Amino acid sequence: MRFLFINHIQNARQSLKSNRMRSTLTMLGITIGVASITTILALSGGASKIVSSQVDALGGNIAVIRPGAASESPLQDIAQIPSTQHFAASTLTENDLNAIQAVPHVSALAPMMVLSGAVRAESSAPVNTAIVATTPALADIVGLKPQDGQFLDPQLNQYTAVIGAQLSVDVFGTEQSIGKTITIRGKSFTVIGVLKRDNNPINYNGVDFDKSVIISQDAGRELNQGSLQIQQINVQSDSVSNLNQVIVDMNKTLLKNHMGEADFSVLSGEQIAQPTNRLFTAIAGTTTAIAAISLLVGGIGIMNIMLVSVAERTREIGIRKALGASNSDIVAQFLIESLALSIGGGISGYVIGYLLAFGISTFLPFMPLLSWEIGAVAIVVSVVIGTLFGIYPAVRASRKDPIDALRQYD
């Protein structure tokens, strides 16, 4: 049986070789389908991975508190991505801040209040420029480093701001903007620092720090009619091993503060990245479904060619049967041939898909995800397609009457 299998493979190779053009074109159908799926999965995987890797890079001792209960349904999460336009009033208060500060092992915490509004200096900043009101601890927790000047300092005047490098270029035309004045919602702020570029437009803070302006909490409160809207609190524990304890304690404290209402969520590690990941998963799912249509077309191509091949080789089937091939031998012969087409297409599609993904990623802020799962998906998909669309022609070939088959002249 094993020898027969090897023979079938040799046979398939030979028969595909003898119709090189036809085989290549048929494979191309599968190649395109698998390539598009590979590209989509690699890119979306890469995109989801940035957020999780950022969280990892911070040392694994970060927890994030967000207003609103953690939802179980992924679809709901997609509808509630934390964004700068979070209009609903936050359930997190200053009171909570103080309570968390008191939790043991919390080494630092940074509440973030993201406002939108006009930012202007020598020229207007882009409309969506984020105004982040926070405490100096943010720099440590998120890993923001000033390229020039310094970060926020409670000792200084509250009308001071730190701006992203790109924003500086946008409004001043240069990255050297220390000491210049920037107008935020009509109030003048002095630029005391310009942040180093970190090229991370997608991150768990929902803010592109390269293009935002950071002001103190007090200034933020003043800009927001005297009330503080905390959209996210980043908490750092003193060590990785204490993080779990900190999370449990924070949950307890906040629950008490909120009179038993779980209208907040404490997230850590992978969970922080989840909403973003789910969004990407949903996008990838939809595009993959579209790419699957091209696979279906490729599969139909295989079926078509296999039917032609069976018709052409009717006489050969008759000869083989007369020489002792059983029906299952004939099924195996043609099935292996269609599998060879689809797996060949799958492998080249996988390679081309990655080339494409790396090509596209040069225009994107992230690299494609390299993982064995995508390879497995490519192989499994092509095996399934080959079997699904190869089985009918193969069975048809095996059912041919040997006498009729021998009578056909080629």
Partner 1 sequence: MPQTQTAPVIVLKDLKKRFGVGDAEHYAIDGIDLTIQKGEFIAIMGPSGCGKTTLLNILGLLDSKIEGEYELEEHSVASLSVRRQARIRSQQIGFIFQSFNLVTRLNVIENVALPLVYKGTTQLNRMKQASAILHQFHLGEREYYMPYQLSGGQMQRVAIARALVNTPSIILADEPTGNLDSHSSHIIMEELSDLHKLGNTIIMVTHNPHLTTYASRVITMLDGKINTDTAQQTEEEPIDAKKPLNKIGKSTKKRRKAKRKKEVKS
Binding residues vs partner 1 (CB under 8 A):
1, 3-4, 6-7, 10, 14-15, 18, 315-316, 318-329, 402-403, 406, 409-410
Buried/exposed code over 329-339 (b: 16+ C-beta within 10 A; e: otherwise): ebbbbbbbbbb
The strand pairing partners of 230, in sequence order, are 92
Query: What is the closest distance, in whole angstroms, from the C-beta atom of residue 312 to partner 1 in the complex?
Result: 10
With beta carbons less than 8 A apart as the criterion, state whether 38 and 238 touch.
no
State how far the Cα of 379 lies from the Cα of 88, in Å rounded to an integer: 46
Instruction: Return the residue matching tokens 């041919």.
Output: 400
Q: Which is nearer to partner 1, 318 or 353 (CB)?
A: 318
The torsion of the CA quartet 39, 42, 47, 52, rounded to 10 degrees, works out to 170
Half-sphere exposure in the Cβ direction for 158 (13 Å, CA): 12
**Nearest CB to partner 1, comparing residues 11 and 253:** 11
Q: How far out from the chain centre does Cα 307 lie?
A: 40
Q: How far is the CB of 336 from partner 1 (least distance, A)?
A: 13
Give the CB-side neighbour count of residue 21, counting CA atoms within 13 A: 0
Contact between residue 50 and residue 273 where contact means Cβ atoms under 8 Å apart: no
Sequence length of the chain is 410
Distance, in Å, from the CA atom of 204 to the CA atom of 272, rounded to the nearest integer, reads: 6
- Provide, rounded to whole angstroms, the least separation between the CB of residue 321 and partner 1: 7
**What span, in angstroms and rounded, lies between the C-alpha atoms of 204 and 62?**
11
| Nearer to partner 1 (CB atom), residue 210 or residue 316 | 316
Q: Which is closer to partner 1, CB of 12 or CB of 279?
A: 12
Closest contact distance (angstroms) between CB of 17 and partner 1 is: 10
> What whole-number distance in Å separates Cα of residue 329 and Cα of residue 319?
13
User: Contact 119/171 with Cβ under 8 angstroms?
Assistant: yes
Based on CB atoms, which residue is closest to partner 1, 4 or 367? 4
Upper half-sphere CA count for residue 14 (Cβ side, 13 Å):
7
CB of 362 to partner 1, least distance (A): 46
CB of 5 to partner 1, least distance (A): 10
List helix spans (H) across 117-188: 137-138, 165-172
Task: Report, in Å, the least distance between residue 325 CB and partner 1.
Answer: 5
Judged by CB, which is closer to partner 1: 13, or 105?
13
Identify which of residues 29 and 318 has a Cβ nearer to partner 1 in the complex.
318
Distance in Å, CB of 340 to partner 1, minimum: 16
Choice between 1 and 89, CB closer to partner 1: 1
User: Which of 367/406 has CB closer to partner 1?
Assistant: 406
Residue 21, C-beta contacts closer than 8 angstroms, at least 6 positions apart: none
Residues 6+ apart with CB under 8 A from 20: none
Q: How far is the CB of 11 from partner 1 (least distance, A)?
A: 9
